[in-house]
């Protein structure tokens, strides 16, 4: 009988993450399914951003493997790694827009790096991506001329420039007010549902985790590994680990009453 189980978008296999040979996280095993909105959670200093750096290739794994749609990212040649990187988009915590470039020019950067499109075609794609995130008419604005929430949207437009299969988000709600944060969450859901994009989000914001997260992994500083994995509401209601409950309830460790 044919196996119809889809290949995971990302699979970490006994992964060790750290710097200069010193592991900060060890024995990480998890999968991210295609089209999933997946959160990497945990308190300050638990290694969320470190794990993200390894997943997007900014830091080499100390041990283990990271597979992208069944292909080893760790063992890939330079050429294959570059090809795999084209399937990624990244929204950095501070949006990481170049202040001296317009929004259109910022979005055109990955197109210049990874495609042979003409300038006219790159401009056309940039305008389409700005429209996709609700920034039509802002192509000629500089980052200093727009709000923090708009910068996040512009950063997402750039992350989507190459129509990636996977988009990574580093604390996307950081510095945003609750309304703007909710609007960004809605945009992430829209991107995921309309394009089938896999979204991997580093965050400790419970409002976002509970409202849009399909599954989470929870990292813990002392354990230096994953202490829980699964749908966030199920973990909040049924976990027997006080560390998990303390994080998901922010100190109130009594699970919420289940409806019905």
* CB neighbour class for 42 (10 Å; exposed up to 12, middle 13-18, buried from 19): buried
- Supply 55's token pair: 């997943």
Q: 161: how many CB neighbours lie within 10 A of its CB?
A: 24
pLDDT for 257 beyond 50: no
Query: What's the rounded Cα separation, in Å, for the pair 76 and 60?
Result: 12
State mean pLDDT over 138-159.
94
Q: Select the more confidently predicted residue: 173 or 40.
A: 40
- pTM of the full structure: 0.91
DSSP states of 175-192 as a string? T--HHHHHHHHHHHHHHH
Q: Domains of the chain: which residue ranges?
A: 35-49+88-249
CATH number of 35-49+88-249: 3.40.50.300
Write the pLDDT tens digit of every residue in 94-124.
788 999 999 999 999 999 988 999 999 999 9
**Residue 126: closest CA among 148, 97, 145, 105:** 105
pLDDT of 1: 44
At 50, the pLDDT band (50, 70, 90 cuts) reads: very high
The proportion of the chain whose per-residue pLDDT surpasses 70, expressed as a percent, equals 95
**Residue 41: closest CA among 176, 231, 179:** 231
């Amino acid at each position: 009988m044919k196996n119809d189980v889809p290949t995971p978008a990302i699979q970490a296999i006994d992964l060790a993450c750290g710097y200069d040979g010193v592991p900060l996280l060890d024995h990480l095993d998890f999968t991210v399914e295609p089209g999933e909105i997946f959160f990497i959670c945990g308190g300050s200093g638990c290694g969320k951003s470190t794990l993200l750096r390894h997943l997007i290739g900014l830091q080499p794994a100390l041990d283990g493997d990271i597979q992208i749609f069944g292909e080893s990212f760790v063992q890939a040649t330079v050429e294959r790694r570059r090809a795999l990187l084209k399937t990624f988009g990244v929204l950095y915590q501070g949006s990481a827009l170049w202040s001296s470039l317009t929004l259109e020019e910022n979005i055109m950067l990955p197109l210049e790096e990874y495609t042979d499109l003409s300038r006219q075609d790159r401009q056309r794609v940039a305008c389409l991506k700005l429209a996709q995130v609700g920034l039509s008419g802002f192509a000629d604005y500089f980052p200093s001329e727009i709000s923090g929430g708009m910068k996040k949207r512009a950063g997402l437009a750039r992350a989507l420039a190459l129509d990636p299969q996977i988009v990574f988000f580093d604390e996307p709600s950081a510095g945003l007010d609750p309304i703007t944060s909710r609007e960004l969450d809605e945009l992430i859901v829209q991107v995921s549902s309309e394009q089938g994009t896999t979204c991997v989000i580093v965050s400790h914001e419970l409002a976002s985790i509970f409202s849009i997260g399909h599954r989470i992994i929870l990292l813990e500083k002392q354990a230096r590994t994953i202490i829980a994995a699964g749908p966030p509401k199920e973990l909040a209601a049924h976990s027997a680990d006080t560390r998990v409950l303390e994080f998901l309830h922010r100190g109130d460790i009594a699970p919420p009453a289940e409806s019905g």
